[in-house]
Structure 1
Amino acid sequence: MPEENANTTDRETEAFAEVDPTGRFGRYNDLLGSGAVKKVYRAFDQEEGIEVAWNQVRLRKFSDDPVLINRLLSEVKLLRTLKNKYIIVCYSVWKDDERNTLNFITEVCTSGNLRDYRKRHRHVSMKALKKWSKQVLVGLEYLHTHEPCIIHRDLNCSNIFINGNIGQVKIGDLGFAAIVGKSHAAHSILGTPEYMAPELYEEDYTEMVDIYSFGMCLLEMVTMEIPYSECDSVAKIYKKVTTGVKPQALNKEMDPEVKAFIEKCLAQPRARPSASDLLKDPFFSEVSDEETEPTG
């Protein structure tokens, strides 16, 4: 038997490394992604016959903070209740006391994240970028008008996912979003420095931090450059962000309309438009609501 066929057969008969308590979801060993506290594995939903992602948080990293563990659990459980086509679906959540992990099953997008997708496809029209942006804003509007208000806090092009065959984008990695009650202000730092709004560093912020991050996402989509890539350390990024110095990528040659729209998103918190306001912006006049709707 040729070697590649043997490998294919092994893959097809691959045993699950772990199965969820209901027996519905099986986890394989291969990683789809990995972060500081979370690993994402390829997995399979035996009931529906579809591939899914198995997100696993190792709780020993939080072992001295039971309050945080309970908060993580309640936040991830909230994900299951979210119903919006531009938000990654969460199918199941459970805590595994034996392995000391928090696990949740989410959908998988066919083409991976938007950062990698944009690198693979260098020639994308402005209209297509506007379509993607509008879908992200519809997702953000849903989160921000949710009761309670949900702030993503770490929106960037690596956790916006895409089904490239239908041009549909979805916001993911909501597992660590801050759920904000009536006080409408959250108090902890978590995020990706290049995308973090200045007030996030002050630990006193509202959902408007997501609008700032969205502006940075659009800047990356247009320039194919991660904002503040001219900085070689987090400290330098922090200094520029907190003193109001915009990323050099914003000086690249681009359509003045695009630049003006991005600058609206990067304005001072009180001057930043909401997701609902941005959706009404003339910037999206060529993208009808029907075009934002995914087909298929």
Structure 2
Amino acid sequence: MASYPLPVFYDLEQTLSTKKERKSMFSNYGRPPKAPVRSAPVRRIYSVYKDEAPKPVSFREGSDQSFITGSPLYSSKKGTYFEQCYEIESRLGEGDFGEVFKVVSKENGKHYACKRNILKFRGERDRTRRIQEVKNHEQLTPHVNIIKFYRAWEENNQLYLLTEVCKQSLADILYNTHEFPENQIWAYFIDILQGLDHLHLHKCIHMDVKPENIFIGLDGRCKLGDFGLVIDFSNGYPTEALDGDSKYLAPECLQRVYTPAADIFSLGIVLLEMATDLDLPKRGPLWHELRTGHIPSMEGRGLSLELRSTIKWLMEPDYRKRPTTTEVLNYKAVKRLSRKNNVIYFFRSKVQTFNSYISKFFILPFIFCSFIYVNLKKKLLNYEEKCYHYQRLDTQWLSWWTILISPMMSP
């Protein structure tokens, strides 16, 4: 029997790389595609939820339940409520479970972001789990760093959520920008921190803090969105929950420990990613290193000691030693920069208000007067042409009349 050489295994050292380096390696291929959603044949396992008529979804008392039946545009014989009352302008994003569109309402002309579940309800239990996201939105009071929620409805066994539209996600910015100025990193971080603080004060854990769920609003602020995995801990911390993205997952979640500290760790990973452009691992030895206190060196990146210490503080392996959102907000550097951000946002809002005032009271009247002037000028030119035409007719008539009567007037 012939002998074959035995395989030799080498223990190669793995190192973390930046997204810029990965992007340069695959520059000809563009952005990597998302992994396909794996699901079993639904009809063989679940009893499909069969109610396909559109109806509002709300857990809030006194909420508007008549926006479908009271819509002047909707007719059950012409198609879906979504198609009849909203027009899709563009696709903003797509995840494993849903897709988001920028839409304009045909009733009031306003723009919204509409999230629609890709997979249909697989039964009453699955429907109950999914519409929990609506309840998570409605139990929160409005906040400048939380995506504004308007309404939700179900139709054709799919859930639709209507929220405010934003410029882009933080993930889009991180993909295109590999070096942030530190003041911008602090501004984004404080916005996200304030949104998380508002969430935790309402006894909620986000469980999926990542750049794809952080959005840049039209006012320039970071806003926290996508509350599909939110946990309510008002009655105690649960031992069962759906985990978020593994790249941002806190280590204690592997032991089924779910506390607000999990969001703090995820925020620390996001802050590390913004500061170092790190290409985060999804699994493996490097994934475990980041969760045991082995944070890559940040010495040569020109980052301040305050920012580096904040990242290490948030990424503390022991969740019991991690700070709360209130403690981080009371950190001296954060308080100083938070006041600075509030001043910037204040003046930015005043400038936007002034620009809208100028647009409303100066530009629009100017456009209106220009329109009137152009129309008057056209009418004047038409009048002058008509006068010139009549003048030519008068001249011709006078010349013919002179020719006719000149023989009669001759002696």
Query: 2:229 & 2:181 partners in 1: Cα distance?
Result: 33
What is the match of residue 224 of structure 1?
277
Q: Establish whether residue 273 from structure 1 lines up as the match of residue 323 from structure 2.
A: yes
TM-score normalised by the chain length of structure 2: 0.58
Structure 1 counterpart SS, 2:111: strand
Alignment of 1:203-218 (within 5 A): 203-218=256-271
What is the match of residue 89 of structure 1?
148
What is the match of residue 403 of structure 2?
none
- Counterpart pick for 2:133 among 71, 75, 84: 75
What is the match of residue 11 of structure 2?
none
Q: Pairwise CA RMSD of aligned residues? A: 2.7
What is the match of residue 3 of structure 1?
none
Alignment of 1:45-60 (within 5 A): 45-60=105-120
**Contact 1:219–1:250 under 8 Å retained in 2:** no
**Contact 1:197–1:241 under 8 Å retained in 2:** no
What is the match of residue 334 of structure 2?
284
- Counterpart pick for 1:258 among 280, 283, 307: 307
Q: Relative to structure 1, is the Cα distance of residues 202 and 128 closer, same or farther in structure 2, using a 3 angstrom cutoff?
A: same
- What is the Cα deviation at residue 39 of structure 1? 1.2
**Contact 1:144–1:150 under 8 Å retained in 2:** yes
- Point out the structure with max Rg over C-alpha: 2
Q: Relative to structure 1, is the Cα distance of residues 288 and 266 closer, same or farther in structure 2, using a 3 angstrom cutoff?
A: closer
Q: Establish whether residue 169 from structure 1 lines up as the match of residue 222 from structure 2.
A: yes
**Contact 2:87–2:106 under 8 Å retained in 1:** no
Q: Relative to structure 1, is the Cα distance of residues 69 and 248 closer, same or farther in structure 2, using a 3 angstrom cutoff?
A: farther
What is the match of residue 235 of structure 2?
182
Query: 1:69 & 1:238 partners in 2: Cα distance?
Result: 34
- Output the amino acid matched with 1:273: P
Q: Show structure 1 runs of 4+ deviating over 6 A.
A: none
Greater strand fraction, Structure 1 or Structure 2: 1
Structure 2 counterpart SS, 1:31: strand
Give ranges in structure 1 of 5+ residues lacking alignment. 1-16
**Contact 1:59–1:102 under 8 Å retained in 2:** no
Deviations along 1:258-287, one digit per CA (max 9) or x if unpaired, are 111111111111111111110111232441
- What is the Cα deviation at residue 184 of structure 1? 2.4
Give ranges in structure 2 of 5+ residues lacking alignment. 1-78, 350-411
- Counterpart pick for 2:166 among 109, 119, 132: 109
- Output the amino acid matched with 2:322: R
Q: Establish whether residue 33 from structure 1 lines up as the match of residue 33 from structure 2.
A: no
Q: Which has the larger displacement, 69-78 or 149-158?
A: 69-78
TM-score normalised by the chain length of structure 1: 0.79
What is the match of residue 136 of structure 1?
192
Q: Establish whether residue 159 from structure 1 lines up as the match of residue 249 from structure 2.
A: no
Query: 2:239 & 2:108 partners in 1: Cα distance?
Result: 38
Query: 2:89 & 2:187 partners in 1: Cα distance?
Result: 35
What is the match of residue 6 of structure 2?
none
Query: 1:131 & 1:118 partners in 2: Cα distance?
Result: 15
Query: 1:26 & 1:275 partners in 2: Cα distance?
Result: 38
- What is the Cα deviation at residue 162 of structure 1? 0.9
Query: 1:101 & 1:174 partners in 2: Cα distance?
Result: 17
- What is the Cα deviation at residue 68 of structure 1? 3.8
**Contact 1:59–1:69 under 8 Å retained in 2:** no
Q: Percent identity?
A: 25
- What is the Cα deviation at residue 235 of structure 1? 4.4
What is the count of residue pairs matched by the alignment?
265
- What is the Cα deviation at residue 57 of structure 1? 1.2
Query: 1:246 & 1:113 partners in 2: Cα distance?
Result: 28
Q: Establish whether residue 234 from structure 1 lines up as the match of residue 294 from structure 2.
A: no
**Contact 2:115–2:161 under 8 Å retained in 1:** yes
Q: Relative to structure 1, is the Cα distance of residues 186 and 33 closer, same or farther in structure 2, using a 3 angstrom cutoff?
A: farther
